[in-house]
Amino acid sequence: MLPPILQNLRIPVVASPMFIVSGPDLVIAQCKAGIVGSFPALNAREKDGDPIQLEAWLTRINEELDRHNQSNPDHPAAPFAVNQIVHRSNARLERDIEICHRYKVPIWITSLGARTEVNAAAHDCGGIALHDIINNVFAKKAVEKGADGLIAVAAGAGGHAGPLSPFALVQEIREWFDGPLLLSGAIATGGAVLAAQAMGADLAYIGSPFIATTEAHAPQEYKQMIVQSGAMDIVTSSLFTGVSGNYLAPSIRNAGMDPANLETADASSMNFGGDSKPKAWSTIWGSGQGIGAVKDVVPAATRIDQLAAEYAAAKDRLAHL
């Protein structure tokens, strides 16, 4: 049984948080269209001395979704989620947890580290905590530390993808875990959302297709590259963050590097402490393998309408097998 906060979505989809790309415009559009929208807390950055951006974003999201719910009592917005990077180099973590607790963020997504205090803060303000993992060992650790649900990040996902097949990963987790399970990795159609459920997941976790939306905080060239690329254009490299991640090969070529001959970097170079990316890498763009399904840049609501129509059609098709 899913926790009430994850029930009653229009389709069983959580939009994943994406560094730089996800901000309040995208989150509000996703929630109004009936799926969970999310953003990384680290995307809300202010200059020294300026008002705290994370507070401003949470205020705006809460106000706009409240307004929407008052005018659309029959189609209330889905809840939103905030992602915390639980890594020792994230110097803002404590401050951001305090803010999210004060604003009663309903869904907390944690990555790169499972910590009991973060889960406890989510629970204390009435929220739930979902932790992303790439294998069964990390999954068990996350649940031991108090996560309510798991996000299985399988092969082909954008960002820090895992190496495992989604079939293997979901199967191993479902042997011992019957709580909320989200699956991610190259899910880009309504049929793939239904396939995730058929495998044993409760919800699909979708990122890259939302880069090619009008509300995404990304340069036009990035959005167009998503539209023009397919699975063969995605390369896996640890060079840019210290952890294996998936990137658009054309963006690597445009930056003067050969995507087929990239050096490796080790995990000790991971740094979420500030603007750590070298300038030359600011145009290296991340993406999962599912983007062959993305044919145009559209408002997020249009992408979600399409996913919903495909999901219904896939259900209908299977019912007649």
Ligand X SMILES: Cc1cc2nc3c(=O)[nH]c(=O)nc-3n(C[C@H](O)[C@H](O)[C@H](O)COP(=O)(O)O)c2cc1C
Cβ of residue 181: shortest distance to ligand X, in angstroms? 14
The 3-state DSSP class for residue 74 equals coil
Residue matched to tokens 């910590």: 115
160, 245 in Cβ contact below 8 A?
Answer: yes
Given candidates 108, 207, 293, 294, which one binds ligand X under the rule CB under 6 A? 207
Q: Give, for 254, the enclosing helix (H) or strand (E).
A: helix 249-254
Candidate ranges 6-14, 15-23, 92-100, 275-283; the one touching ligand X (CB under 6 A)? 15-23
Given candidates 5, 14, 18, 248, which one binds ligand X under the rule CB under 6 A? 18
Size of residue set near ligand X by CB under 6 A = 25
Counting contacts by CB under 6 A, is residue 237 touching ligand X? no
140 to 179: interface string for ligand X, x by CB under 6 A = -------------x---xxx--------------------
CB neighbours of 304 closer than 8 A, spacing ≥ 6?
Answer: 10, 11, 13, 30, 33, 34, 35
Candidate ranges 5-13, 45-53, 163-171, 200-208; the one touching ligand X (CB under 6 A)? 200-208
Counting contacts by CB under 6 A, is residue 201 touching ligand X? no
Q: Give, for 53, the enclosing helix (H) or strand (E).
A: helix 53-71
User: What is the maximum alpha-carbon separation in the chain?
Assistant: 62
* Residue 234 exposed, middle or buried by CB count within 10 Å (0-12, 13-18, 19+): buried
Given candidates 26, 27, 32, 83, which one binds ligand X under the rule CB under 6 A? 83
Counting contacts by CB under 6 A, is residue 21 touching ligand X? yes
Cβ of residue 160: shortest distance to ligand X, in angstroms? 7
Given candidates 2, 10, 19, 271, which one binds ligand X under the rule CB under 6 A? 19
Q: What is the DSSP letter of 298?
A: B
Give the C-alpha separation, 17 to 220, whole Å: 19
E strands, 207-321, are 234-237, 245-248
Task: Tell me the C-alpha to C-alpha distance, in Å, between residue 117 and each of 17, 141, 145.
Answer: 21, 14, 9
Candidate ranges 88-96, 139-147, 190-198, 280-288; the one touching ligand X (CB under 6 A)? 280-288
Given candidates 185, 190, 200, 259, which one binds ligand X under the rule CB under 6 A? 185
Report the side by side order of strands in the sheet with 13-15.
13-15, 203-206, 181-184, 149-153, 128-133, 107-111, 80-85, 37-40
Counting contacts by CB under 6 A, is residue 26 touching ligand X? no
Of 92, 89, 95, 151, nearest to 121 by C-alpha is: 95
The vertex-213 CA angle with 208 and 219, nearest 5°, equals 85
Candidate ranges 24-32, 171-179, 206-214, 258-266; the one touching ligand X (CB under 6 A)? 206-214
208, 247 in Cβ contact below 8 A?
Answer: no
Q: Which is nearer to ligand X, 69 or 236 (CB)?
A: 236
Counting contacts by CB under 6 A, is residue 16 touching ligand X? yes
Cβ of residue 62: shortest distance to ligand X, in angstroms? 21
Given candidates 187, 192, 304, 314, which one binds ligand X under the rule CB under 6 A? 187
Counting contacts by CB under 6 A, is residue 24 touching ligand X? no
Counting contacts by CB under 6 A, is residue 200 touching ligand X? no
Residues that bind ligand X (CB under 6 A): 16-19, 21, 40, 83, 111, 132, 153, 157-159, 184-187, 205-208, 286-288, 290
